[in-house]
Chains A and B, each alone.
Chain A
Amino acid sequence: MTTALLSIRDLHVRVGEREVLRGINLDLPAGQVHAIMGPNGSGKSSLSHVLAGKPGYEVLSGSVTYGGQDLLALAPEQRARAGLFLGFQYPVEIPGVNNAYLLRAALNAARRERGESEIDAFDFLTLVKERMALMKMDESFLSRGVNEGFSGGEKKRNEILQMLVLEPRVAILDETDSGLDIDALKVVATGINTLRSPERAILLVTHYQRLLDHVVPDAVHVLVGGRIVRSGGAELARELEARGYDWLLEAA
């Protein structure tokens, strides 16, 4: 318990009038991949957003501890610089801001936070091109606007690329698998597996089990009605795939 990199305790969160998270408890230890599964509207994306600090979510009670500090007290950019990464379900397009600029600005923000010098332009390009090759992305992408005119699959690959460049300690991937064809899914899975390491933790938020065939989780949690109603190993995901969520909805 004490080794958890990310620790969520009795987290209650409201959006507008609706309580979307109603007492979440979760420990994410370093070195592990956990999956959060659940039907639509169960609070999966809300959990991702709250952890990343998206405005509009009111924490009613509970706590989130990240590497020993109070995560909820940090601004979104401070969370990012401290090594927390959110892979968006719907990455926004930002015409006019080019990918290379954003990647470098993001990387340097994290490096400054750690007291390191800014990355040399040559080292940066070497790093990015190596990661892009892994994600099977064309180099022309660097000079394009952030997600501008990207297909759904390209946007998701771009999220994973950013993750690979930033090398976060905790990555939360919000339905990164949705909308991907099988080839893109494998590329994305390769990217995620590349980042697995004893000092990192990954939280995969997903509706379907298919990503979990390629990124085998250490634990699976089922979120229903804003609560985790069941936790188990990788086999739980396969059971959900076979039986659907209905039997758990009744339990909730």
Chain B
Amino acid sequence: MNAATAPRPAPPPGSMSNAAYEQRLRDAVMDAAPVLNSRLLPVSVRSAALNRALAAGLPQLRDDLWRYADLRYLGSAALAPVAPEPAESLQGAILPLLPPRIEGFTRLVYGNGRLQAALSDACDALQPSALPLVPERTRHERFGWLNDAFATDIARLVVAQPLKLEVIFAATPGTTRQAVYPRLELQLAPGTPLVLVERHLGSTGAEGTINAAIQIHAGAGSQVQHLRWQGLATDAQFLDTVQLAVDRDARYALTQLSMGARTARTSLRAALFGAGAQFDLRAVALAAGRRTLDHSLLVDHLGRHTASNQVFRAIARGQAHIACRSRVEIATSAAGASSQQSLKGLLDGAGAEIDLRPQLEIHTDEVRASHGATTGALDPAMQFYLHSRGLDADTARALLEWAFLEDALAGIEPAALRLAAERGAAAALGSAIAGELVEEPR
């Protein structure tokens, strides 16, 4: 083979040229203009966001925040949002994706970035004309700017009464040349309890992206139980920016299940800005094949006596790659803060890779902080014990992997969320355990 016909090696992550990306962004603006709704987000907000996205460009190879994100596809992926589609065919494509209803929950369904009223319940909290919630973003959240610029619809919610809400963002394979921008803005009134299930389902194919932006402000003394469910098809490319603000004495419990997508990156920041704010994160990531799941989690302790607890559990099979950078910053204003981090990875495949990076930065005295990270393989002694009781290799493996995740899932409240999370994880592990959970909800 001569040099002229030799295939070029695939570029490493992030090495795509900024010029190409910039051109795609500018093209997207032209394509997007007719389909964007300036009543939801003013043109000034959109153009400011676009300028920031252009200025930020793509993450560079050396950028520690993006080291493990697989962004190669951005060089060829379309970035313009999906144009409006005929409701009937779109809903026909979405319907098979929808999970069974959770009893007592109001459901909102967004298809390819637009509310599907026919599949959704009435919801008083949904207030499209309320003030936009557009958080300050940094380069850590740079793809959130694209969502600000291109979001076609917004699940904009003002919650002042106790609410159990399920928001489903579905993407369908009919949209392969365009991008989907799911967006949720939620303001929770002081003292109000909220149970929120947020699901990302569907597919984009090689030429599309799903770029979600989630921003939630939890008012003083509110209580949030939030289950995030990323169950996209394994050809989906997912960018995910989550910004949470937790006010005085509010308690925010977030469970994130990352089970799908060919490549996914979650950039999450929780700002505990009110005194006594609490944030509890349980994240589970499961990947097989050649898939990549990257997480960059940042918890900012800003108020006094704020508390955070993070549990991250990852299982990588085959040649999958899972990464988690989990950073806690305790500001000078956060005396009396406490923080715990436990990151664990389980490698189940000779080519699998897990990178866990707990980081802690403390700028004040009087804090309690601990962190730990371990990655290993299944314990052969445990496997043999289960084999010796008649369990075959696949069942034993799934059972042990289930057990590995269980300390992230066992404490989820309320029970309906825990059961949903456990079923999802068990199904993703591909075992008979899922059936067992259906029979015996605890």
Q: Which residues on B sit within 8 Å (CB–CB) of A52? A: 388
Are A91 and B390 in contact, CB atoms less than 8 angstroms apart?
no
- Judge if A1 is at the interface, Cβ distance under 8 Å: no
With A and B bound together, what is the CA distance between A142 and B291 in angstroms? 38
Pair count A-B, CB < 8 A: 78
Contact string, A76-95, partner B, CB cutoff 8 A, digits 1/0?
11011100011010011011
Evaluate whether A94 and B384 lie within 8 angstroms (CB atoms) in the complex, with A105-B391, A121-B439 already known: no
Are A54 and B391 in contact, CB atoms less than 8 angstroms apart?
no
Evaluate whether A96 and B388 lie within 8 angstroms (CB atoms) in the complex, with A77-B393, A105-B395 already known: no
Are A96 and B404 in contact, CB atoms less than 8 angstroms apart?
yes
Contact string, B369-383, partner A, CB cutoff 8 A, digits 1/0?
000000000011110
Are A96 and B406 in contact, CB atoms less than 8 angstroms apart?
yes
Are A55 and B402 in contact, CB atoms less than 8 angstroms apart?
no
Centre residue among A52, A75, A85, A146 by max chain B CB count within 10 A: A146
- Judge if B177 is at the interface, Cβ distance under 8 Å: no
- Judge if B189 is at the interface, Cβ distance under 8 Å: no
With A and B bound together, what is the CA distance between A142 and B395 in angstroms? 20
How far does the Cβ of B393 sit from chain A's closest Cβ, in whole Å? 7
How many residues from B make CB contacts under 8 Å with A? 27
Are A77 and B406 in contact, CB atoms less than 8 angstroms apart?
no
User: Which A residue's beta carbon lies closest to that of B385?
Assistant: A92
- Judge if B386 is at the interface, Cβ distance under 8 Å: yes
User: Which A residue's beta carbon lies closest to that of B407?
Assistant: A96
Are A55 and B390 in contact, CB atoms less than 8 angstroms apart?
no
Are A97 and B403 in contact, CB atoms less than 8 angstroms apart?
yes
- Judge if A162 is at the interface, Cβ distance under 8 Å: yes
Contact string, A51-80, partner B, CB cutoff 8 A, digits 1/0?
011110000000000000000000111011
- Judge if A101 is at the interface, Cβ distance under 8 Å: yes
How far does the Cβ of B282 sit from chain A's closest Cβ, in whole Å? 14
Contact string, A87-116, partner B, CB cutoff 8 A, digits 1/0?
010011011110001100110011001000
With A and B bound together, what is the CA distance between A110 and B400 in angstroms? 20
Are A110 and B390 in contact, CB atoms less than 8 angstroms apart?
yes
Evaluate whether A95 and B403 lie within 8 angstroms (CB atoms) in the complex, with A105-B395, A121-B439 already known: yes
- Judge if B82 is at the interface, Cβ distance under 8 Å: no
**At the interface, is chain B mostly helix, strand, loop or mixed?**
helix
Q: Which of A88, A95, A106, A145 contacts B390 (CB 8 A)?
A: A106
- Judge if B412 is at the interface, Cβ distance under 8 Å: no
Are A91 and B385 in contact, CB atoms less than 8 angstroms apart?
yes
A window 198-212: CB within 8 A of B? none
Are A162 and B384 in contact, CB atoms less than 8 angstroms apart?
no
How many residues from A make CB contacts under 8 Å with B? 31
Are B391 and A106 in contact, CB atoms less than 8 angstroms apart?
yes
Q: Which of A76, A95, A101 contacts B388 (CB 8 A)?
A: A76
A window 28-62: CB within 8 A of B? 52-55
Are A80 and B382 in contact, CB atoms less than 8 angstroms apart?
no
Q: Which residues on A sit within 8 Å (CB–CB) of B389? A: 77, 80, 102, 105-106, 109, 162, 166
How far does the Cβ of B46 sit from chain A's closest Cβ, in whole Å? 47
With A and B bound together, what is the CA distance between A55 and B378 in angstroms? 15
With A and B bound together, what is the CA distance between A166 and B390 in angstroms? 10
Are B380 and A86 in contact, CB atoms less than 8 angstroms apart?
no
With A and B bound together, what is the CA distance between A24 and B253 in angstroms? 60
B window 384-441: CB within 8 A of A? 384-393, 395-396, 399-400, 402-407, 410, 436, 439
User: Which B residue's beta carbon lies closest to that of A82?
Assistant: B390
Are A80 and B387 in contact, CB atoms less than 8 angstroms apart?
yes
Are B387 and A94 in contact, CB atoms less than 8 angstroms apart?
no
Are A92 and B379 in contact, CB atoms less than 8 angstroms apart?
yes
Q: Which residues on A sit within 8 Å (CB–CB) of B439? A: 121
With A and B bound together, what is the CA distance between A95 and B344 in angstroms? 15
User: Which B residue's beta carbon lies closest to that of A106?
Assistant: B389
Are B380 and A97 in contact, CB atoms less than 8 angstroms apart?
no
Q: Which residues on B sit within 8 Å (CB–CB) of A77? A: 387-393, 396
How far does the Cβ of B152 sit from chain A's closest Cβ, in whole Å? 42
With A and B bound together, what is the CA distance between A85 and B395 in angstroms? 19
Are B395 and A55 in contact, CB atoms less than 8 angstroms apart?
no
How far does the Cβ of A214 sit from chain B's closest Cβ, in whole Å? 25
- 16 more CB-based (< 8 A) A-B contacts, given A97-B400, A102-B389, A105-B399: A52-B388, A53-B388, A54-B384, A76-B384, A77-B396, A80-B389, A91-B385, A95-B403, A95-B406, A96-B402, A96-B406, A97-B403, A101-B399, A101-B436, A102-B386, A109-B392
Residues on B lying within 8 angstroms of A by beta carbon are: 379-382, 384-393, 395-396, 399-400, 402-407, 410, 436, 439
A-B CB contact pairs (8 Å), 29 listed: A75-B387, A76-B388, A77-B387, A77-B388, A77-B392, A77-B393, A77-B396, A80-B389, A80-B390, A86-B388, A88-B388, A92-B379, A92-B381, A92-B382, A94-B385, A95-B403, A96-B403, A96-B405, A96-B407, A97-B386, A97-B402, A102-B386, A106-B390, A109-B390, A109-B391, A110-B390, A145-B403, A162-B389, A166-B390
Residues on A lying within 8 angstroms of B by beta carbon are: 52-55, 75-77, 79-81, 85-86, 88, 91-92, 94-97, 101-102, 105-106, 109-110, 113, 121, 145-146, 162, 166
